[in-house]
Chain A
């Protein structure tokens, strides 16, 4: 589905992403781990088209999208959330989801009938909010949501674009430890239900091993390990990089 080959990204003279190559298969849920500054978010930004690639190739669904606009990537089915939640703060939770659906169905050019007139879209938005467990908060404005709910809403918005591949940048950062698993349960259940492939950046190794089938370990801009969570955690060089300990 997604194929990244020898990707590079330079900021000034320093190389942040250094020739990683990997593939993401259909329906696969994998996690991307690595120490701070390894380039995880940069990698997501490159794949989503948020920043420009220096070298290498990104293919999605068999097409070269290395230089495609973010808009085209979204229309092809590549969506993402944000590590720092990125919501439309002057709209209600429902509005936030609805605008994504309007965009997905190509209806944002409709300029005459009120948004509330599109009943099917409103219904779908409500359903989506129910799937993500925040249906009872549809009338609230984002600033009044808890950090966990904001994260869920942010993910739900990416999800509303009906992606084939969803990139989630730390969907549980900033969420209280006790709520992390609840948030992940909700998100992963929704992803599995719609059979969306998903790449999750995550710090918490418990979450990684509980929710994902495969782990990519990124260090200094390149992939140094790729495999099942259990096997990866057993490798000593990974431990050293992730936790700074040596066996």
Chain B
């Protein structure tokens, strides 16, 4: 059994299938569904980072929209004020830098607290950013937001392309590449000694302090990393959406990020990714089918919390272990 396992590596096969599926997507699905998927994948990056904080460090932020907005506005404002720099290889680091700065400042205030106080403080701070984005309209475009044009890459321009063409061409592969890079880096982080330290803090803050982990500082590290993931997701989302508005730093949007993470299941590493992809389709189809889409997704959320607390991925994992158990017994 063990030999067979090391030979086949079921995990590896799943990864290969998923990667090739993602890469061939432009040939399989319509442009509409492809773009919908791209929205989902940018949220998936955010949710990966978000779960480092929620699932692995035990902190629930209701304000991660702020760092998403930091990334998205970082890109959009660069487009407006420094058009020469409007190239992906520069824009992504800019988005990361800005989200780093904002999450470092906000995080410094938040990590002094835990639980509800943490959640409420993170929420309030994101609303501060929202208000600033809203009110400094001559800089940020106010409620109209800013337009994000199609970026360049190493001097190559896609200027003669229309957005759907750009999105289903080069950008799709770029996006999938960024997603897998983000996925692998996060996977490394959660399994590393650093990740174990975060989990120790989540499980038992008092003991963690007394085995020499500086709890507050490590919480801040986790906060910043997850903030930068949000920033990266926000920047990549900006190109897909073509337009950024202050809404992404509103706490309702942050709430949707929490929703995605829980929908997928924050106890499983890949859960939030699944959740982000499902949420996006769910929301769009709810919006397309009824005026009362908030009612639909609100009710869905309540049902999930009540009956499927492990989320979709958590539920699947439990199902899998239930199927596996009898077969293991049979083998023994």
Contact = CB atoms under 8 A, between A and B. Distances in A.
Contact of B207 (A88, A104, A107): A88
A160 B211 CA distance: 9
Contacts of A82: 207
Contact of B189 (A48, A50, A79, A111): A111
A86 B203 CA distance: 10
A104 to B, nearest CB: 7
A211 interface: no
A157 B192 CA distance: 19
B193 A118 contact: yes
A108 B213 contact: yes
Contact of B212 (A104, A110, A114, A115): A104
- Output the residue of B191, B192, B203, B209 with the most chain A CB within 10 A: B192
B198 to A, nearest CB: 9
A79 B209 CA distance: 11
A108 B194 contact: yes
B200 interface: yes
Contact of B213 (A48, A95, A103, A116): A103
A86 B204 contact: yes
Contacts of A100: 211-212
A87 interface: yes
Chain B interface category by residue count? 20 to 34
B199 A86 contact: no
A89 interface: yes
A71 B207 contact: no
Contacts of B191: 114-116
A91 B211 contact: no
Contacts of A86: 204, 206-207
- Output the residue of A103, A111, A112 with the most chain B CB within 10 A: A111
A95 B193 CA distance: 10
Interface string B196-240: 110110111011111111100010000000000000000000000
A74 B211 CA distance: 7
A114 B210 contact: no
A102 B193 contact: yes
Nearest to B209: A70
Given A111-B188, A114-B188, A74 B210 contact: yes
Contacts of A99: 193, 196-197, 200, 211, 213
A161 interface: yes
A138 to B, nearest CB: 15
B200 A91 contact: yes
A177 B234 CA distance: 60
A212 to B, nearest CB: 23
B195 interface: yes
Given A86-B204, A91-B203, A71 B193 contact: no
A75 interface: yes
A111 B214 contact: no
A120 interface: no
A136 interface: no
A71 B196 contact: no
A100 B196 CA distance: 10
A171 to B, nearest CB: 16
Interface of B: 188-189, 191-197, 199-200, 202-204, 206-214, 218
26 contacts: A48-B210, A70-B209, A71-B212, A86-B204, A86-B206, A88-B199, A88-B200, A91-B196, A95-B196, A99-B196, A99-B197, A99-B200, A99-B211, A100-B211, A102-B193, A102-B196, A103-B213, A110-B194, A111-B193, A111-B194, A112-B188, A112-B189, A114-B191, A115-B192, A115-B195, A157-B211
